[in-house]
Amino acid sequence: MSCLVSRRIFLTAGLAALAAPALAGAPAISLRPVARPVRGPGTVASRSAPAAEALIARANLSGRVGFAVVDPATGRMLEESDGSAALPPASVTKAVTALYALETLGAEHRFETRLIATGPVENGILKGDLVLAGGGDPTLDTNALAGMAAALGTAGVREVRGRFRLWGGAVPFRRAIDEDQPEHAGYNPALSGLNLNYNRVHFEWKRQGAQYAVAMDARSDRYRPDVTMARMRVADRAAPVYVYSDGGARDEWSVARAALGNGGARWLPVRKPERYAGEVFATFARAQGITLGAPEVMQAAPGGSVLVSHKSEALETVLRDMLLYSTNLTAEMVGLAATSRRQGGAATLAQSAQAMNAWAAASLGMKTAALRDHSGLSDRSRLSAADMARGLAGARRAALLRPLLREFALRDAGGNVARNHPVKVVAKTGTLYFVSTLAGYVTTPGGKDLVFAIFTASDSLRAQINPAQDDSPPGARGWNGRAKGLQQALIERWSAVHGR
Protein backbone atom coordinates (compact mmCIF):
# COMPACT_ATOMS: atom_id res chain seq x y z
CA MET A 1 0.00 0.00 0.00
CA SER A 2 1.32 3.41 -0.90
CA CYS A 3 1.11 6.16 1.70
CA LEU A 4 1.46 9.64 0.17
CA VAL A 5 1.93 12.40 2.69
CA SER A 6 2.13 16.15 2.12
CA ARG A 7 5.43 17.95 1.65
CA ARG A 8 7.76 18.23 4.63
CA ILE A 9 7.41 21.31 6.74
CA PHE A 10 10.65 21.39 8.68
CA LEU A 11 12.69 23.42 6.18
CA THR A 12 11.32 26.74 7.29
CA ALA A 13 11.66 26.06 11.04
CA GLY A 14 14.90 26.94 12.76
CA LEU A 15 16.74 27.66 9.52
CA ALA A 16 19.06 30.11 11.21
CA ALA A 17 20.69 27.09 12.85
CA LEU A 18 21.53 25.42 9.55
CA ALA A 19 24.45 27.70 8.66
CA ALA A 20 26.65 30.34 10.21
CA PRO A 21 25.22 33.86 9.90
CA ALA A 22 26.19 36.02 6.94
CA LEU A 23 25.25 39.65 6.48
CA ALA A 24 25.09 41.23 3.04
CA GLY A 25 27.00 44.45 2.78
CA ALA A 26 26.31 47.49 0.65
CA PRO A 27 27.61 47.27 -2.90
CA ALA A 28 31.13 48.50 -3.44
CA ILE A 29 30.24 50.39 -6.61
CA SER A 30 27.29 52.56 -7.58
CA LEU A 31 24.16 51.11 -9.18
CA ARG A 32 23.87 54.02 -11.59
CA PRO A 33 23.79 53.06 -15.30
CA VAL A 34 27.16 52.35 -16.86
CA ALA A 35 28.36 52.98 -20.38
CA ARG A 36 27.62 50.20 -22.87
CA PRO A 37 30.66 47.94 -22.53
CA VAL A 38 32.99 47.03 -25.34
CA ARG A 39 35.15 44.02 -24.49
CA GLY A 40 38.90 44.08 -24.46
CA PRO A 41 41.65 45.77 -22.44
CA GLY A 42 41.82 49.51 -22.68
CA THR A 43 38.20 49.88 -23.86
CA VAL A 44 35.70 52.29 -22.33
CA ALA A 45 34.09 49.54 -20.23
CA SER A 46 37.34 48.28 -18.75
CA ARG A 47 38.45 51.84 -17.96
CA SER A 48 35.13 52.82 -16.29
CA ALA A 49 34.72 49.66 -14.19
CA PRO A 50 36.84 49.46 -11.05
CA ALA A 51 39.74 47.03 -11.29
CA ALA A 52 39.19 43.75 -9.48
CA GLU A 53 42.33 44.32 -7.45
CA ALA A 54 40.99 47.65 -6.22
CA LEU A 55 37.66 46.07 -5.21
CA ILE A 56 39.46 43.34 -3.28
CA ALA A 57 41.67 45.87 -1.51
CA ARG A 58 38.63 48.00 -0.65
CA ALA A 59 36.91 45.01 0.96
CA ASN A 60 39.75 44.82 3.48
CA LEU A 61 39.58 41.06 3.93
CA SER A 62 42.40 39.05 5.44
CA GLY A 63 42.98 35.70 3.82
CA ARG A 64 42.67 34.81 0.14
CA VAL A 65 40.18 35.77 -2.56
CA GLY A 66 39.97 33.53 -5.61
CA PHE A 67 37.53 34.16 -8.44
CA ALA A 68 36.91 33.10 -12.02
CA VAL A 69 34.46 34.13 -14.76
CA VAL A 70 33.74 31.92 -17.78
CA ASP A 71 31.78 32.46 -20.99
CA PRO A 72 29.50 29.39 -21.07
CA ALA A 73 28.96 29.72 -24.81
CA THR A 74 32.65 29.22 -25.61
CA GLY A 75 34.10 27.88 -22.37
CA ARG A 76 36.66 30.71 -22.47
CA MET A 77 38.01 32.03 -19.19
CA LEU A 78 37.20 35.75 -19.25
CA GLU A 79 38.82 36.80 -16.00
CA GLU A 80 40.35 35.24 -12.91
CA SER A 81 42.40 36.15 -9.89
CA ASP A 82 43.99 33.46 -7.76
CA GLY A 83 41.49 31.22 -9.47
CA SER A 84 43.59 28.09 -9.06
CA ALA A 85 43.86 28.48 -5.27
CA ALA A 86 42.31 25.50 -3.46
CA LEU A 87 39.99 27.05 -0.84
CA PRO A 88 37.07 25.84 1.29
CA PRO A 89 33.96 25.96 -0.94
CA ALA A 90 31.53 25.76 2.04
CA SER A 91 27.95 25.16 0.89
CA VAL A 92 28.78 25.86 -2.74
CA THR A 93 29.71 22.16 -2.52
CA LYS A 94 25.98 21.45 -2.66
CA ALA A 95 25.85 22.59 -6.30
CA VAL A 96 28.45 19.92 -7.15
CA THR A 97 26.45 17.38 -5.14
CA ALA A 98 23.27 18.31 -7.01
CA LEU A 99 24.96 17.72 -10.37
CA TYR A 100 26.38 14.41 -9.09
CA ALA A 101 22.96 13.24 -7.93
CA LEU A 102 21.10 14.40 -11.03
CA GLU A 103 23.47 12.61 -13.38
CA THR A 104 23.57 9.42 -11.29
CA LEU A 105 20.04 9.05 -9.92
CA GLY A 106 17.98 11.11 -12.36
CA ALA A 107 15.58 13.97 -11.63
CA GLU A 108 12.66 11.61 -10.91
CA HIS A 109 14.43 9.46 -8.31
CA ARG A 110 12.46 9.03 -5.06
CA PHE A 111 13.61 7.77 -1.68
CA GLU A 112 11.46 5.04 -0.14
CA THR A 113 10.72 4.20 3.50
CA ARG A 114 8.98 0.86 4.09
CA LEU A 115 7.08 -1.08 6.72
CA ILE A 116 8.09 -4.71 6.23
CA ALA A 117 6.42 -7.80 7.71
CA THR A 118 8.66 -10.80 8.30
CA GLY A 119 5.67 -13.10 8.68
CA PRO A 120 2.10 -13.46 7.45
CA VAL A 121 -0.82 -11.26 8.43
CA GLU A 122 -3.78 -13.43 9.44
CA ASN A 123 -7.05 -12.01 10.74
CA GLY A 124 -5.37 -8.68 11.44
CA ILE A 125 -2.49 -10.26 13.37
CA LEU A 126 1.07 -9.98 12.07
CA LYS A 127 2.72 -13.25 13.02
CA GLY A 128 6.25 -11.98 12.69
CA ASP A 129 8.30 -8.83 13.14
CA LEU A 130 7.36 -5.37 11.90
CA VAL A 131 10.39 -3.51 10.50
CA LEU A 132 10.53 0.23 9.87
CA ALA A 133 13.15 0.25 7.12
CA GLY A 134 14.75 3.49 5.97
CA GLY A 135 15.83 4.10 2.41
CA GLY A 136 17.99 7.16 3.06
CA ASP A 137 15.14 9.65 2.70
CA PRO A 138 16.42 12.99 4.05
CA THR A 139 12.95 14.55 3.98
CA LEU A 140 11.02 11.98 6.05
CA ASP A 141 9.05 13.90 8.66
CA THR A 142 6.55 13.38 11.47
CA ASN A 143 3.60 13.81 9.11
CA ALA A 144 4.93 10.99 6.93
CA LEU A 145 5.24 8.61 9.88
CA ALA A 146 1.70 9.47 10.96
CA GLY A 147 0.52 8.63 7.45
CA MET A 148 2.39 5.33 7.45
CA ALA A 149 0.84 4.31 10.77
CA ALA A 150 -2.62 5.18 9.45
CA ALA A 151 -1.95 3.17 6.29
CA LEU A 152 -0.90 0.19 8.41
CA GLY A 153 -4.24 0.32 10.19
CA THR A 154 -6.07 0.67 6.89
CA ALA A 155 -4.26 -2.46 5.68
CA GLY A 156 -6.02 -4.33 8.47
CA VAL A 157 -3.14 -4.84 10.89
CA ARG A 158 -4.44 -4.77 14.48
CA GLU A 159 -1.71 -6.59 16.36
CA VAL A 160 2.00 -7.40 15.97
CA ARG A 161 3.02 -10.64 17.67
CA GLY A 162 6.70 -10.29 16.83
CA ARG A 163 9.24 -7.61 17.53
CA PHE A 164 9.28 -3.98 16.38
CA ARG A 165 12.59 -3.47 14.59
CA LEU A 166 14.37 -0.56 12.97
CA TRP A 167 16.77 -0.64 10.03
CA GLY A 168 18.92 2.27 8.90
CA GLY A 169 21.64 0.25 7.19
CA ALA A 170 21.04 1.64 3.71
CA VAL A 171 23.55 4.31 4.79
CA PRO A 172 26.48 3.61 7.16
CA PHE A 173 25.80 5.29 10.49
CA ARG A 174 27.79 8.40 11.37
CA ARG A 175 27.11 10.25 14.63
CA ALA A 176 27.74 13.69 13.09
CA ILE A 177 28.56 15.06 9.66
CA ASP A 178 31.60 16.93 10.96
CA GLU A 179 33.04 16.19 14.39
CA ASP A 180 34.72 19.61 14.52
CA GLN A 181 31.38 21.43 14.81
CA PRO A 182 29.74 22.32 18.15
CA GLU A 183 27.98 19.29 19.65
CA HIS A 184 24.66 21.13 19.89
CA ALA A 185 24.62 22.45 16.31
CA GLY A 186 21.32 21.43 14.72
CA TYR A 187 22.87 21.65 11.25
CA ASN A 188 25.33 18.84 12.14
CA PRO A 189 23.18 15.77 12.91
CA ALA A 190 23.82 12.05 12.63
CA LEU A 191 23.62 10.19 9.31
CA SER A 192 21.61 7.03 8.85
CA GLY A 193 19.42 5.30 6.32
CA LEU A 194 16.47 6.07 8.62
CA ASN A 195 16.17 9.80 9.31
CA LEU A 196 13.42 11.98 10.75
CA ASN A 197 12.88 15.74 10.74
CA TYR A 198 16.40 16.29 9.38
CA ASN A 199 17.53 14.41 12.50
CA ARG A 200 16.66 17.28 14.78
CA VAL A 201 14.58 17.22 17.95
CA HIS A 202 12.70 20.26 19.24
CA PHE A 203 13.69 21.51 22.68
CA GLU A 204 11.40 24.00 24.42
CA TRP A 205 11.68 25.53 27.87
CA LYS A 206 9.52 27.80 30.01
CA ARG A 207 10.14 29.31 33.42
CA GLN A 208 7.73 28.14 36.13
CA GLY A 209 8.56 30.02 39.30
CA ALA A 210 12.11 29.18 40.28
CA GLN A 211 12.19 26.12 38.04
CA TYR A 212 11.86 25.35 34.32
CA ALA A 213 9.49 23.09 32.44
CA VAL A 214 11.31 21.46 29.53
CA ALA A 215 9.97 19.41 26.64
CA MET A 216 11.54 17.41 23.82
CA ASP A 217 9.29 16.61 20.86
CA ALA A 218 9.16 15.75 17.17
CA ARG A 219 6.76 18.47 16.17
CA SER A 220 5.34 19.21 12.75
CA ASP A 221 2.61 21.53 11.52
CA ARG A 222 0.04 18.85 12.47
CA TYR A 223 1.46 16.91 15.39
CA ARG A 224 3.60 17.34 18.48
CA PRO A 225 4.57 13.89 19.76
CA ASP A 226 6.78 13.91 22.85
CA VAL A 227 9.95 11.84 22.72
CA THR A 228 11.89 10.14 25.50
CA MET A 229 14.91 9.02 23.48
CA ALA A 230 16.25 12.58 23.85
CA ARG A 231 16.19 13.98 27.39
CA MET A 232 17.12 17.38 28.78
CA ARG A 233 18.26 18.30 32.29
CA VAL A 234 18.66 21.87 33.57
CA ALA A 235 22.09 22.21 35.22
CA ASP A 236 23.25 24.82 37.71
CA ARG A 237 26.16 26.19 35.72
CA ALA A 238 26.97 29.25 33.67
CA ALA A 239 28.85 27.52 30.84
CA PRO A 240 28.99 25.65 28.59
CA VAL A 241 25.41 26.21 27.52
CA TYR A 242 24.85 22.63 26.28
CA VAL A 243 26.52 19.36 27.21
CA TYR A 244 25.78 16.06 25.45
CA SER A 245 26.40 12.51 26.63
CA ASP A 246 25.62 9.17 25.06
CA GLY A 247 23.01 7.45 27.19
CA GLY A 248 23.02 4.18 25.30
CA ALA A 249 19.47 4.10 24.00
CA ARG A 250 19.07 7.85 24.60
CA ASP A 251 20.59 11.21 23.78
CA GLU A 252 21.26 12.83 27.16
CA TRP A 253 21.49 16.63 27.20
CA SER A 254 21.97 19.22 29.89
CA VAL A 255 21.57 22.98 29.55
CA ALA A 256 22.98 25.79 31.69
CA ARG A 257 20.27 27.38 33.82
CA ALA A 258 21.94 30.79 33.46
CA ALA A 259 21.37 30.75 29.69
CA LEU A 260 17.63 30.02 29.67
CA GLY A 261 15.96 33.32 30.57
CA ASN A 262 12.16 33.15 30.75
CA GLY A 263 11.65 30.70 27.91
CA GLY A 264 12.48 29.74 24.37
CA ALA A 265 12.99 26.91 21.91
CA ARG A 266 15.56 25.54 19.48
CA TRP A 267 16.30 22.45 17.42
CA LEU A 268 19.04 20.13 18.64
CA PRO A 269 20.75 17.38 16.64
CA VAL A 270 19.71 13.76 17.02
CA ARG A 271 22.54 11.23 17.45
CA LYS A 272 20.33 8.12 17.41
CA PRO A 273 18.08 8.65 14.41
CA GLU A 274 16.70 5.11 14.14
CA ARG A 275 15.41 5.19 17.72
CA TYR A 276 14.02 8.67 17.16
CA ALA A 277 11.99 7.58 14.14
CA GLY A 278 10.98 4.35 15.86
CA GLU A 279 9.61 6.05 18.95
CA VAL A 280 7.61 8.57 16.91
CA PHE A 281 6.18 5.85 14.65
CA ALA A 282 5.19 3.75 17.69
CA THR A 283 3.29 6.75 19.08
CA PHE A 284 1.19 6.98 15.93
CA ALA A 285 0.75 3.21 15.77
CA ARG A 286 -0.77 3.27 19.27
CA ALA A 287 -3.22 5.89 18.05
CA GLN A 288 -4.32 3.29 15.48
CA GLY A 289 -4.77 0.69 18.22
CA ILE A 290 -1.53 -1.10 17.36
CA THR A 291 0.80 -1.56 20.32
CA LEU A 292 4.40 -2.26 19.44
CA GLY A 293 7.18 -3.64 21.59
CA ALA A 294 10.32 -1.76 22.52
CA PRO A 295 12.12 -0.83 19.28
CA GLU A 296 15.25 -2.80 18.38
CA VAL A 297 17.86 -1.57 15.92
CA MET A 298 18.87 -4.32 13.47
CA GLN A 299 22.00 -4.51 11.36
CA ALA A 300 21.14 -6.94 8.55
CA ALA A 301 18.84 -5.84 5.74
CA PRO A 302 15.32 -7.09 6.43
CA GLY A 303 13.47 -9.56 4.27
CA GLY A 304 9.71 -10.03 4.03
CA SER A 305 6.68 -8.41 2.44
CA VAL A 306 6.14 -4.66 2.20
CA LEU A 307 2.93 -3.59 3.95
CA VAL A 308 3.28 0.19 3.55
CA SER A 309 5.59 2.35 1.45
CA HIS A 310 6.22 6.07 1.69
CA LYS A 311 8.08 7.76 -1.15
CA SER A 312 9.70 11.16 -1.07
CA GLU A 313 9.09 13.81 -3.65
CA ALA A 314 11.11 13.63 -6.84
CA LEU A 315 14.83 14.32 -6.54
CA GLU A 316 14.48 17.54 -8.53
CA THR A 317 12.20 18.95 -5.82
CA VAL A 318 14.40 17.61 -3.02
CA LEU A 319 17.43 19.29 -4.57
CA ARG A 320 15.63 22.59 -5.12
CA ASP A 321 14.83 22.75 -1.41
CA MET A 322 18.35 21.62 -0.51
CA LEU A 323 19.87 24.47 -2.51
CA LEU A 324 17.34 26.99 -1.21
CA TYR A 325 17.65 26.14 2.48
CA SER A 326 21.18 24.67 2.37
CA THR A 327 20.17 21.59 4.36
CA ASN A 328 23.29 19.62 5.18
CA LEU A 329 21.55 16.32 5.87
CA THR A 330 19.88 16.38 2.45
CA ALA A 331 23.20 16.98 0.72
CA GLU A 332 24.85 14.08 2.50
CA MET A 333 21.94 11.71 1.83
CA VAL A 334 21.67 12.45 -1.89
CA GLY A 335 25.45 12.26 -2.30
CA LEU A 336 25.61 8.93 -0.47
CA ALA A 337 22.70 7.61 -2.54
CA ALA A 338 24.45 8.56 -5.76
CA THR A 339 27.65 6.80 -4.70
CA SER A 340 25.70 3.72 -3.63
CA ARG A 341 24.07 3.59 -7.06
CA ARG A 342 27.42 3.95 -8.84
CA GLN A 343 29.28 1.43 -6.69
CA GLY A 344 26.46 -1.03 -6.16
CA GLY A 345 26.52 -0.76 -2.38
CA ALA A 346 26.58 1.57 0.60
CA ALA A 347 29.68 3.71 1.15
CA THR A 348 30.97 5.66 4.13
CA LEU A 349 30.92 9.44 3.95
CA ALA A 350 34.68 9.58 3.33
CA GLN A 351 34.44 6.97 0.56
CA SER A 352 31.48 8.75 -1.00
CA ALA A 353 33.24 12.12 -0.97
CA GLN A 354 36.21 10.53 -2.74
CA ALA A 355 33.87 9.00 -5.33
CA MET A 356 32.29 12.40 -5.97
CA ASN A 357 35.75 13.98 -6.30
CA ALA A 358 36.65 11.41 -8.96
CA TRP A 359 33.37 12.01 -10.77
CA ALA A 360 33.82 15.80 -10.62
CA ALA A 361 37.31 15.50 -12.09
CA ALA A 362 36.17 13.19 -14.91
CA SER A 363 32.80 14.79 -15.72
CA LEU A 364 33.30 18.45 -14.82
CA GLY A 365 37.05 18.88 -15.18
CA MET A 366 37.39 19.79 -11.48
CA LYS A 367 40.94 18.54 -11.05
CA THR A 368 41.38 20.33 -7.70
CA ALA A 369 38.28 18.80 -6.10
CA ALA A 370 39.28 17.51 -2.64
CA LEU A 371 35.89 17.52 -0.93
CA ARG A 372 35.47 15.82 2.47
CA ASP A 373 31.67 15.63 2.36
CA HIS A 374 28.68 16.47 0.17
CA SER A 375 27.42 19.48 2.13
CA GLY A 376 30.51 21.69 2.49
CA LEU A 377 30.29 21.64 6.28
CA SER A 378 33.91 20.53 6.65
CA ASP A 379 36.35 23.41 6.35
CA ARG A 380 38.98 20.89 5.23
CA SER A 381 37.29 20.53 1.85
CA ARG A 382 39.13 22.24 -0.99
CA LEU A 383 38.19 23.39 -4.49
CA SER A 384 39.36 26.19 -6.76
CA ALA A 385 37.14 28.96 -8.11
CA ALA A 386 38.41 28.29 -11.64
CA ASP A 387 37.41 24.63 -11.46
CA MET A 388 34.02 25.55 -10.02
CA ALA A 389 33.28 28.10 -12.75
CA ARG A 390 34.46 25.81 -15.54
CA GLY A 391 32.49 22.93 -14.09
CA LEU A 392 29.26 24.92 -13.93
CA ALA A 393 29.83 26.21 -17.45
CA GLY A 394 30.44 22.80 -18.97
CA ALA A 395 28.15 20.60 -16.89
CA ARG A 396 25.91 18.41 -18.99
CA ARG A 397 23.27 18.83 -16.32
CA ALA A 398 23.66 22.62 -16.06
CA ALA A 399 20.34 23.07 -17.83
CA LEU A 400 18.72 21.20 -14.94
CA LEU A 401 20.79 22.84 -12.20
CA ARG A 402 20.26 26.47 -13.12
CA PRO A 403 16.46 26.44 -12.51
CA LEU A 404 17.08 24.88 -9.09
CA LEU A 405 19.30 27.71 -7.87
CA ARG A 406 17.83 30.61 -5.94
CA GLU A 407 17.97 34.22 -7.05
CA PHE A 408 20.87 36.04 -5.43
CA ALA A 409 19.56 39.45 -4.46
CA LEU A 410 21.80 42.38 -5.31
CA ARG A 411 21.55 45.46 -3.11
CA ASP A 412 21.40 49.21 -3.45
CA ALA A 413 23.71 51.77 -1.87
CA GLY A 414 21.71 51.62 1.37
CA GLY A 415 22.12 47.86 1.70
CA ASN A 416 18.51 47.13 0.74
CA VAL A 417 17.46 44.59 -1.87
CA ALA A 418 17.39 46.27 -5.29
CA ARG A 419 14.36 44.59 -6.82
CA ASN A 420 14.85 46.14 -10.24
CA HIS A 421 18.59 45.66 -10.46
CA PRO A 422 19.49 45.21 -14.14
CA VAL A 423 21.93 42.37 -13.41
CA LYS A 424 20.24 39.04 -12.62
CA VAL A 425 22.03 36.34 -10.65
CA VAL A 426 21.08 32.80 -9.63
CA ALA A 427 23.67 31.15 -7.43
CA LYS A 428 24.57 29.00 -4.45
CA THR A 429 26.00 30.73 -1.44
CA GLY A 430 28.36 29.22 1.11
CA THR A 431 29.13 30.53 4.58
CA LEU A 432 31.29 29.35 7.42
CA TYR A 433 32.88 31.70 9.92
CA PHE A 434 35.48 33.66 7.91
CA VAL A 435 34.59 31.74 4.75
CA SER A 436 32.24 33.23 2.15
CA THR A 437 31.66 31.67 -1.25
CA LEU A 438 29.32 32.22 -4.18
CA ALA A 439 29.00 30.45 -7.53
CA GLY A 440 26.39 30.52 -10.25
CA TYR A 441 25.07 32.26 -13.32
CA VAL A 442 24.78 35.95 -14.29
CA THR A 443 22.54 37.45 -16.96
CA THR A 444 23.73 40.94 -17.83
CA PRO A 445 21.47 43.81 -18.99
CA GLY A 446 22.73 43.13 -22.51
CA GLY A 447 21.51 39.53 -22.32
CA LYS A 448 24.94 37.96 -21.96
CA ASP A 449 25.29 34.84 -19.79
CA LEU A 450 28.32 34.50 -17.53
CA VAL A 451 29.33 31.73 -15.12
CA PHE A 452 31.36 32.63 -12.05
CA ALA A 453 32.74 31.48 -8.73
CA ILE A 454 34.11 33.59 -5.85
CA PHE A 455 35.86 31.90 -2.91
CA THR A 456 37.07 33.91 0.08
CA ALA A 457 38.61 32.41 3.20
CA SER A 458 40.87 33.35 6.10
CA ASP A 459 42.61 30.35 7.64
CA SER A 460 44.31 32.53 10.25
CA LEU A 461 41.01 33.90 11.58
CA ARG A 462 39.35 30.48 11.52
CA ALA A 463 42.23 29.08 13.57
CA GLN A 464 41.22 31.41 16.43
CA ILE A 465 37.63 30.10 16.66
CA ASN A 466 36.56 28.19 19.77
CA PRO A 467 34.44 25.34 18.33
CA ALA A 468 32.45 25.01 21.56
CA GLN A 469 31.14 28.58 21.55
CA ASP A 470 27.52 29.28 20.75
CA ASP A 471 27.87 32.82 19.41
CA SER A 472 29.51 34.28 16.34
CA PRO A 473 33.25 34.81 16.96
CA PRO A 474 34.48 38.40 17.17
CA GLY A 475 34.77 40.04 13.78
CA ALA A 476 32.90 37.32 11.87
CA ARG A 477 29.81 39.36 11.04
CA GLY A 478 31.77 42.29 9.71
CA TRP A 479 34.14 40.06 7.74
CA ASN A 480 31.30 38.15 6.09
CA GLY A 481 29.43 41.37 5.38
CA ARG A 482 32.45 42.79 3.56
CA ALA A 483 32.84 39.53 1.64
CA LYS A 484 29.23 39.78 0.47
CA GLY A 485 29.81 43.36 -0.63
CA LEU A 486 32.87 42.27 -2.60
CA GLN A 487 30.85 39.55 -4.33
CA GLN A 488 28.32 42.07 -5.61
CA ALA A 489 31.02 44.53 -6.66
CA LEU A 490 32.80 41.86 -8.69
CA ILE A 491 29.55 40.73 -10.35
CA GLU A 492 28.74 44.32 -11.36
CA ARG A 493 32.25 44.75 -12.71
CA TRP A 494 31.98 41.61 -14.85
CA SER A 495 28.61 42.68 -16.15
CA ALA A 496 30.08 45.99 -17.25
CA VAL A 497 33.26 44.56 -18.77
CA HIS A 498 32.03 41.29 -20.25
CA GLY A 499 28.32 41.96 -20.58
CA ARG A 500 27.97 42.11 -24.38
Task: Give the residue extent of every domain in the chain.
Answer: 15-106+315-498, 112-311
What topology is assigned to 112-311 in CATH? D-tyrosyl-trna(Tyr) Deacylase; Chain: A; (3.50.80)
Residue 12's pLDDT band (cuts 50, 70, 90): very low
Q: Beta 211-217 vs 200-208: how paired, if at all?
A: antiparallel
Q: Is residue 183 very low, low, confident or very high in pLDDT (cuts 50, 70, 90)?
A: very high
How is residue 90 annotated by DSSP? Answer: G
Residue 69 CA to residue 488 CA, distance in Å, equals 14
Q: 15-106+315-498 is classed in which CATH architecture? A: 3-Layer(aba) Sandwich (3.40)
List Cβ neighbours of 354 (8 Å cut-off, separation of 6 or more): none
Question: Model confidence over 313-355: pLDDT tens digits?
Answer: 999 999 999 999 999 999 999 999 999 999 999 999 999 999 9
pTM as predicted? 0.90
Question: In what helix (H) or strand (E) does residue 104 lie, and over which residues does it extend?
Answer: helix 93-105
In 326-402, alpha helices (H): 328-343, 349-364, 385-394, 398-401
pLDDT at 34: 32
Where residue 471 falls among pLDDT bands split at 50, 70, 90? confident
Backbone angles phi, psi at 447, to 5 degrees: 90, 10
Percent of the chain with pLDDT over 70: 89
